A and B are shown apart, each in its own frame.
Chain A
Amino acid sequence: MKRLFAISFVVIALLAVSVYRAKEGAQASEIKIQKLEQQIAAAKEELRVLKAEEAHLSRPERIGPLAAEKLGMGPVRPEQLKGEAALQATLAESASDDAAALVEGQDAAE
């Protein structure tokens, strides 16, 4: 009986400790989750700030003059735009010019 009492006492004590540890573990996990959520929220907020900065820095009012000044760029002129058919014709014309130049070169070599 004495042994039974001792074992019961130990088991109860172990259970109490286990429950306490489980509760502590859950709280620790909760804290960890909260910290992670805070980190995610902070990272998202930082991302929002960076996106806002990117949008502010890339606004046309700023980029336009920079592109014109540093790169010499300007609005596209209609002559600079060609459709697919016109592009094919241009490529074919370019290829025939290259072939003609090659023939001329061979004639000159002979």
Chain B
Amino acid sequence: MRLSNSFLHSLNLDGAGDRWAALRAIMVAGVIALMFGVVTWRASVVAMGGTHEASVAEKSVHVAAQRSDIVDRNGELLATSLTIDSLAAAPQEIWDAREVAEGLATVFEDLDVDQLIARLEDPNRKFVWIRRKVSPRQRQAVYDLGLEGLRFEKEVQRIYTGGALAGHLIGFTNVDSQGIAGLELAHQDRLAAGGKPLKLTIDTGVQFALEDELKFAAEAFHVKGAAGVVIEAKTGAVRAIASWPAIDPNRPGDMTGDQRLNRAMGAVFELGSVFKPLTVAAALDAGVLRPSETFNVAQNIQIGAVTVRDRHPISSIASVTDIIVHSSNVGTVKIEQLLGLRQHKEFLDRVGLLSRPQVVYPGAAAPILPVEWDELTGATISYGHGLAVSPLALAAAYTAFANDGEMVRPRFVEPEPEDEIARTRVVSAPTARLITDMMRRTVTDGTGTRADVYGYEVGGKTGTAEKPGPDGYDPHRNICSFVSLFPTSRPEYVVLIVLDEPEALEGEGKTAALNAAPLTGRLIARIAPMLDVAPVLEKRRSTSDNSSGVRAVSDKRAL
């Protein structure tokens, strides 16, 4: 007090003490009033406007929504991520777990009430998912219940805009947006990191045409399964790849085991006579066969216990081209015998048919190789029996013929401008051109006439193989395939169609010439304009009886 008095005295306020005291009182009162005012105002703001902190849900949306889109080569959207609500509960905020569980059961009819009660009453749980990814209607219904301790968390839902389009290739994610199949899995790190869309080599229009034709084949020929591939020969870009039955990645839970099987990449087949051009190419390239050489193919060949015979025997002498055009097993085996087992095996290895295809895709199937390589296996493999490969692997091998002898690796993602396209020479350019010419002759004069398409110079080779069973090869169950290049004067694309156990149309057989070949023709007619392949308007050839099958099949679809 003494200090205070001396302090006031030093300020010389004695004379105006009352006035100063009043002023001080006013100032103190003003400050206190101001403080109360601020506190009141802030309290009002907090009460009415909430806090400034972003909610947990908002934060989680920001992070999770970053998964990149997937688009086709033209930028058409194939897969994207959208935010959607999921229902969760904080058990510690719930007094009556039974009331909450029974209330929610009125919205989610399949909810297990007892299990939910147990989870909500578990003292160790601070967070419980009740239902992931609820619809807007369900969300509103839960709000209307007015139950305690519930909240909606924003989550990301992967949406596949094309439905089943390219379903096997794209794959799908799990509930936490982690890729678990197809390219979603193969490029998980790239997609999860966000950023620009993953641009596939797939062309949506071509992909749809391929899937549509496979679906048609399934109806027309009652196939067990089917697969198809369209590859750009120069770059290895896969413009379409499909497996039937298709899958819809939006509904992974609905898929059956058979649907999940990707017959284009994840399965292997003994594809039959589509191997013959490979055998001939190997022999020509090894210098053991001249293009002008002829063979007597009138007699069957006996190798051990196996008799090699032709389905449509050629009367006597056949040129190398005749052997391909008319698909002679006997002639091909004779050529393989000239080639020898070692060189044959080396060639198959060179074109990638003895190892797993080098593609960025999980589950690409490795070939099934013969247990023992001997004279018999060499002979049967020469015409496509005894070695099972995936359709993609075979189509990739044929890029060598379409590409002047250089094989390219199939790819599903568009290359960056700085990426180089790796090409591997597997046969000489003259050999590749000879094989291409033989394949064209097969379509104009041989087993592949139903694949011909005016203007696109289709070259191809049929393959009809009996499926192996427990008691040997089953003559009633076939794998029918057709491998083709177009246009043969400047090959741009390789197309392969494989049909698993097709049935015969009325009055016809069930060979590739009658099912896979016409299907390929229909497909090429649809996709060539989409792929900007300029037609070669040669003089239109008269339509033979053999090619009427294409029209007959087309008519059914009113195309």
Contact = CB atoms under 8 A, between A and B. Distances in A.
A60 B204 contact: yes
Nearest to A86: B537
A92 interface: no
A44 to B, nearest CB: 9
Nearest to A1: B11
Contacts of B209: 60
A78 B455 contact: yes
A89 interface: no
A13 to B, nearest CB: 7
Given A2-B20, A45-B83, A75 B208 contact: no
Interface residues of B, number: 44
A105 to B, nearest CB: 34
Secondary structure at the B interface, as helix, strand, loop or mixed, is mixed
B82 A49 contact: yes
Interface string B186-210: 0000000000000000001100110
B159 interface: yes
B161 A81 contact: no
A87 interface: no
A52 B161 contact: yes
A78 B165 contact: no
A25 interface: no
B160 to A, nearest CB: 9
B529 A55 contact: no
B468 to A, nearest CB: 36
B349 interface: no
Given A1-B11, A1-B12, A76 B80 contact: no
A26 to B, nearest CB: 11
B216 interface: no
B82 A75 contact: no
B43 interface: no
A52 B82 contact: yes
Contacts of A76: 529
Contact of B77 (A31, A38, A52, A60): A52
Contact of B76 (A9, A48, A55): A55
A45 B58 CA distance: 13
A1 B13 CA distance: 10
27 contacts: A1-B11, A2-B11, A2-B20, A27-B52, A30-B52, A31-B52, A34-B52, A41-B62, A45-B65, A48-B80, A51-B80, A52-B77, A52-B82, A55-B78, A55-B161, A56-B162, A59-B162, A59-B163, A59-B165, A59-B208, A60-B204, A74-B559, A75-B529, A78-B454, A79-B537, A81-B534, A83-B534
Given A2-B13, A51-B77, A78-B528, 14 more contacts: A2-B16, A20-B38, A41-B62, A48-B80, A48-B81, A52-B161, A55-B77, A60-B204, A61-B163, A74-B559, A75-B526, A75-B529, A76-B529, A81-B535
